[in-house]
Structure 1
């Protein structure tokens, strides 16, 4: 897959969300949400869900998990997605040879 396919998939997923997203909760998640609601006292529980999504997203980016999954599924990194260009397009560098899977052999 490519950067263009990634952009199309993200736009498609974005348009699939309704203005209100209904999520069913299992018992454990409901309990954890109740604790967080009580302790953090936000205006509403939707705010906690928004915060949780932001935290999960940031953690996924910071730990490199986002790049791992993007590279595996679309052969791009998050930085490449943000810039709209692959590293090769940015630098003009040719693709490295495949080496028949012997990349780390001496």
Structure 2
């Protein structure tokens, strides 16, 4: 994880395994008390959180490493997976994409 990388924020609790937002790396890996740490900063919530079950059922996400790791910490996300997750979740607040009935001059 490199400074300013975008990352998904994923809840991994027993009752709520889902992608809920996007964060950016604010400080690269460092050690605290023998543990590796990466500081992140919130970018925005997903417009529609995505449960693990829904993600696993999507053909475009087959083979995503998130599905193979029983205890999640950090997994790489390819550009294709990033784009598909964002598409399924309607993007995230702060992604620069407008959502909903904006004023459109197309007639």
Q: TM-score, normalised by structure 1?
A: 0.26
The structure that is helix-richer by fraction is: 1
The structure that is strand-richer by fraction is: 2
**Structure number with bigger Rg:** 1
Q: TM-score, normalised by structure 2?
A: 0.26
Greater relative contact order (Cα < 8 A, sep 6+): 1
